[in-house]
Structure 1
Amino acid sequence: MTMLHDEAVYLGTSFLSAEDGTQTSQGEYLPLSLANRHGLITGATGTGKTVSLQILAEGFSNAGVPVFCADVKGDLSGLAAKGEAKDFLAKRAETIGLGKDYDFASVPTIFWDLFGEQGHPVRTTITDMGPLLLARLLGLNDTQEGILNIAFKLADDEGLLLLDLKDLRALLVNMEERRKELSAVYGNISTASIGAIQRDLLVLEQQGAEHFFGETALDILDLMRTTRDGRGVVSILAADKLMQSPRLYATFLLWLLSELFEELPEIGDRDRPRLVFFFDEAHLLFEDAPKVLVDKVEQVVKLIRSKGVGVYFVTQNPLDVPDDVLSQLGNRIQHALRAYTPRDQKAVRVAADTFRPNPALDTRQVITELGVGEALVSTLMKKGVPSMVQRTLIRPPSSRIGPLSEGERKEIITNSPILGVYDRVVDRESAYEVLQTRAQNKIQREEEQRQQEETTKAKKSRTGFTLPDFNRGDRPQSAPSRSTSRRSSGRQTVAEAAVKSVVRSVASSLGRAIVRGILGSLKSGR
């Protein structure tokens, strides 16, 4: 009996004991038609989560489904290489009945890296990310987040492109200089809050975020490629260095998820997903996250399946995922958990109670007894009903277990179908350049005005006008009285009024065109 077929991903084999002592086996599968109902892979360190992720990626790729995953430890890069025959792999294949169906093969792979060192650079713009995710990335409080929202609104109103960090810094400086004027329009703008945001931006830059913001921005369709022979391409994000900045890692993946949600059209349920997205170290997404953000993540997870995207969270402990999100994850692979502490024991109870019970298994007990490469598996069946939980021996991967060498990785990057698309940094005119030009023009106008006033003063002295007597306290002509200054600054020439009218019209048009989605990123059609 073949264990592999086109309608499902083969996960492994479970063994059932009958009352007469005989043992039967059955394959455990993840139906492709229900793979967009999301999933969860959990287990303690070293119990086999990475291999489970690896075989899922292989199965989806072979079925023509593109995959995105973050490679936290470097091991997933082995997907790009053909596996090597080893005794323990052959023994596992024999035990689970895979037999002649077990073969070694690589999967088509594209490597990505925010820092551009171990893969193609990944970038987005400040404008695309939006204020909600950026506030999360910076760790802002409510007041500071309000100032950031004003910054984005001001940029939209004045047609300023926020592409990279220097654009945002320039805008914050401009806001500080115009604080009184802008506070009357947008609400109170605190110098202290602007200063706090600027300091957080500096910290973010030191963590390497300047590599992430800018152009050429990622085209989400490049994560959804298939090969000529119909296999899905696996996009692997090098995350070992990125994990040193866990908030940047979590915000980046959340932004990517929001981009998929906003960009992809509704397609309903299909025979297989358009993309499967693995969110490794998922606890970083929810750790210290404000409730409003968790609520929005829940909303995205709930709705994105209709876009044909399956989201799979990978973490050590099911308690890492909020209950409302956990309830959306229908496909489960649970590796061993240890029950040394009260929190560990609670995690075991939570994990056991989320499975459909199996009368033949004491699920709570089994979770603590699973060996490496074993897991409790429950997947969705027809009509979305979860299968009865089974103790399962996970299949051995066909690709390499372990990382690629540096040379192998470089060879794959060199032969990548997107080579040269993202490797060049583009720095077009944006808020930084526009505001710099405005400042220079302002200085030039002030200098011209000063020279004009000095010329006028000199002409008056030659034609017999009485020069001011400073001993009497007369004001020099170059310093008009306060009342005169107020009157003159309140007047507009016909030309100035016309220019301001045009600016307001353009800003209003831009404001209507810029529409943000659930997580604050720009919607498609922009």
Structure 2
Amino acid sequence: MPDAAPGLFLGQSDDAGAAGPQHLLFHRANRHGVVAGATGTGKTVTLQIMAQGFSDAGVPVFCADVKGDLSGICVPGAPNEKLLARAASMGLTLQPRAAPTVFWDLYGQKGHPIRTTVSEIGPLLLARMLNLNEVQEGVLSVLFHVADTEGLLLLDLDDLRAMLVYLGENAERIGREVGNVAPASIASIQRAILQLEQQGGDAFFGEPALRLEDMMRTGLDGRGQVNVLDATRLMGSPRLYAVFLLWLLSELFEQLPEVGDPDRPRLVFFFDEAHLLFNDTPAALREKVDQVVRLIRSKGVGVYFVTQNPADIPDSVLAQLGNRIQHALRAYTPAEQRGLKAASDSFRPNPAFDTAEAIQSLGVGEALVSTLDDKGAPTVVARTSIRPPDSRLGPATDAERAAVMAASPVRGLYEAVVDRDSAEEILAARRGEQDQAAADAKLAEARVKADAVAARDAEKAAVAREKVQAREQARYDREAPRARAPARRSTRETPVEAMTKSVLRTAGSTITRELLRGVLGSFRRR
């Protein structure tokens, strides 16, 4: 069952004026906080005991595991003699147990994948993610406006690319309606998308998108779910990491109803490596961060920034962080000394010690703690020994992580990618219809031209036939009178006629001679 104590036990202090156990009151936990300190001073352990403490109180938690050490929260602890003695000095009995943990991973390798859509990210955060300048951000805003106007869903980076091509093809029309879209800006955005893909950022965009209720679960035993984001690979893309966490905060702010100041938070959100959120942040985005942090407490969400130095956080945000845990800082350079002074000045002074000197002399597992009291005022800063955790110090093994994921309440909900029709498919279909219409029009035009050519050829052939017929008729008309006059007989004999006449003449001469002989012979006999 949830812890009945009014606050989360952080550790024990022996300072005059602030001696005794140090608690973070649950009904003040939505007033946000900061956990700061140099590398190796115990920030991760503090984050771990806070996450498990909130979970035991029935509060769901989201935290990023930057180095992999926080994954041990899913395994019961095995305290050594040193940890047992430390707990005994605080009057604490350790109860080794694991927290109800769900692992998440943007890349889907060491946890359930987390996705969202391009539309849900919006142009402002997307421009930050792509590191665009103001002009290119303006083009991105035009793109989102056109997509909304024409009903084109922007789900993944393929949809974003398709819309950029569409903007380029219709730049003249869109420029008249919304604003100029320069080809150079489109090309720059396309290159930025390619760089994001090379960092694996395309895995973050798509469906099914994350449902916040799957991160805000409470088990049957009354403990809140601890959501651990594996950020070991994600830290290689710090801009993507910062934008993702800011998007998650924005979604919580937009979707959760107002609840005022509840007895305990509805969700506690730990933002590790918080300085990445504010590095080279445009003014518009910084204002959004300030607004979300200022207003999200009324939604029952507590935000805790984890960083090396409070100076990494803008003053406008730092002023809203009421609960402060400061581990050791080292100040060797002028910049570090300024950061040390800023950190010490942010605490309510304790007459028992100098805050700036105490910050430099803290050992591992010690911190300066100042939280909000019942009236909402910061307590006097106390030098505190942080309590040991109930779960394991150190990372979980791959087998232990796999067993936790196999028993996860969200197992199977996000692993399979859903690819429904969106801007890319719709524009491809439009382009296909346009290409088909153009092909049909071209074919019809070709047929019309072919018919026209055939008609001209037929006409030319008919004209040619008429000319031939006219020539034939003219020749016939010229030769017709000759054909009607009697033909003159030729006086020339043919060879046959000549031979016939010669034979007849020879035969006649022979017959004549024979007759004459006969007649003359008779006269002689007489």
Q: TM-score range by the shorter chain?
A: 0.7 to 0.9
Secondary structure of the residue aligned to 2:158 is: helix
Counterpart of 1:488 in structure 2 is none
- Is the aligned partner of 1:169 residue 2:178? no
Where do residues 375-454 of structure 1 align in structure 2 (5 Å cutoff)?
375-454=367-446
Corresponding residue for residue 14 of structure 2: 15
Q: CA RMSD in A?
A: 1.5
2:522 aligned partner: none
1:465 to partner: Cα distance: 9.4
User: Which residue number in structure 1 is paired with residue 41 of structure 2?
Assistant: 47
- For residues 315-359 of structure 1, the C-alpha deviation after alignment (integer angstroms, 9 at most, x for no partner) is 001110000000000000000000111111111111111111111
Q: Does 1:178 align with 2:160?
A: no
Mapped to 2, the partners of 1:149 and 1:207 lie a distance apart of: 24
Residues 69-94 of structure 1: per-residue CA shift (max 9 Å, x gap): 00000011111000002022012112
2:253 to 248, 257, 261: 261
C-alpha separation in 2, matches of 1:359 and 1:349:
17
Higher helix share: 2
Query: What is the deviation of 1:463?
Result: 3.7
> Structure 2: which amino acid aligns with 1:89?
L
- Assess if the C-alpha contact under 8 Å between 2:4 and 2:57 holds in 1: no
Residue 128 of structure 1 deviates from its aligned partner by 0.8
Instruction: Determine the C-alpha separation between the residues in 1 that align with 2:427 and 2:393.
Output: 52
| Residue of structure 2 equivalent to 1:36 | 30
| Structure 1 position 77 matched with structure 2 position 67 | no
Supply the distance in 1 between the matched residues of 2:130 and 2:215 (Cα, whole angstroms). 27
Distance 1:208 1:58 in 2: 31
2:60 maps to 1:66: yes
- Give, in angstroms, the shift of residue 97 of structure 1: 2.4
Match of 2:195 in 1: 203
- Say which SS state the counterpart of residue 251 (structure 1) adopts: helix
1:308 matched residue in structure 2? 300
Query: Where does 1:58-457 land on structure 2 (aligned, <5 Å)?
Result: 58-98=52-92, 101-457=93-449
1:203 counterpart letter in structure 2:
Q
Counterpart amino acid of 2:12? T
Equivalent residue of 2:115, what SS? coil
SS of residue matched to 1:47: coil
* Counterpart code for 1:58: Q
CA distance in 2, matches of 1:456, 1:465: 14
Distance in 2 between residues matched to 1:73 and 1:332, nearest whole Å: 22
Instruction: For 2:316 and 2:408, locate their aligned partners in 1 and report how far apart those are by CA, in whole Å.
Output: 39
TM-score of the two chains, using structure 1 as the length reference: 0.85
Gaps of 5+ in 2: 460-526
SS in 2 for 1:418: coil
Q: How many angstroms apart in 1 are the aligned matches of 2:316 and 2:450?
A: 77
Partner AA of 2:165 in structure 1: V
Deviations 1:443-482 (A, max 9, x none): 1111111111122222233445999xxxxxxxxxxxxxxx
- Cα distance in 2 for partners of 1:303, 1:316 equals 25
Of 69-78 and 440-449, more deviation after overlay is shown by 440-449
SS at match of 1:150: helix
C-alpha distance in structure 1 between counterparts of 2:448 and 2:391, whole Å: 83
Q: Could you give the per-residue CA deviations for residues 483-502 of structure 1, whole angstroms, max 9, x where no partner exists? A: xxxxxxxxxxxxxxxxxxxx
CA distance in 2, matches of 1:409, 1:118: 8
Q: Give, in whole Å, the separation in 1 of the partners of 2:334 and 2:19.
A: 35
- Which residue identity is paired with 1:57? A
3-state SS, counterpart of residue 39 of structure 2: coil
Structure 2 residue matching 1:124: 3-state secondary structure: coil
Q: Secondary structure at the match of 2:296?
A: helix
Report how far residue 296 of structure 1 moved.
1.2
Counterpart position of 2:510: none
Equivalent residue pairs, number:
458
- For residues 158-211 of structure 1, the C-alpha deviation after alignment (integer angstroms, 9 at most, x for no partner) is 000010000000110111111111111111100000000000000000100111
Q: Secondary structure at the match of 1:16?
A: coil
In structure 2, how many angstroms separate the alpha carbons of the residues matched to 1:464 and 1:291? 72
| Partner-residue secondary structure (3-state), 2:91 | coil
**Contact 2:19/2:382 (CA < 8 Å) preserved in 1?**
no
Q: Return the letter of the residue paired with 1:234.
A: V
1:384-433 Cα offsets, whole Å, 9 max, x none, are 10001000000011100000000000010011011100011000000010
Instruction: Tell me how far apart the structure 1 counterparts of residues 267 and 454 of structure 2 sit (CA, whole Å).
Output: 81
Change over 3 Å in CA distance of 1:466–1:332 after alignment to 2: farther
Q: CA separation in 1, counterparts of 2:5 and 2:458? A: 99
Tell me, in whole angstroms, the C-alpha distance in 2 between the residues paired with 1:275 and 1:465.
84
Amino acid at match of 1:45: T
Letter in 2 for 1:96: M
- C-alpha deviation, 1:16, in angstroms: 2.8
Following the alignment from structure 1 to structure 2, what is the Cα–Cα distance between the partners of residues 327 and 69? Answer: 22
CA-to-aligned-CA distance 1:77-136 (integer Å, 9 cap, x gap): 1110000020220121122222xx322111100000000000000000001110000000
User: Taking structure 2 as the reference length, what is the TM-score of the superposition?
Assistant: 0.85
SS of 1:131 mapped into structure 2: helix
Letter in 2 for 1:87: E
Q: Is the 8 A contact 2:76 2:391 kept in 1?
A: yes
Distance 1:151 1:230 in 2: 46
Contact kept? 2:330, 2:360, Cα under 8 Å = yes
Q: Distance in 2 between matches of 1:17 and 1:423?
A: 54
Q: d(CA) in 1 for partners of 2:310 and 2:15? A: 26
Paired position in structure 2 for 1:514:
none
User: Any gaps of 5 or more consecutive residues in structure 1?
Assistant: 19-23, 468-526
* 8 Å CA contact retained: 2:104, 2:111: yes
* Cα offset, 1:264, TM superposition: 0.4
Q: Structure 1 CA distance, aligned partners of 2:50 and 2:297?
A: 18
Helix, strand or coil at the partner of 2:10: strand
Q: In 2, Cα distance between the equivalents of 1:9 and 1:387?
A: 15
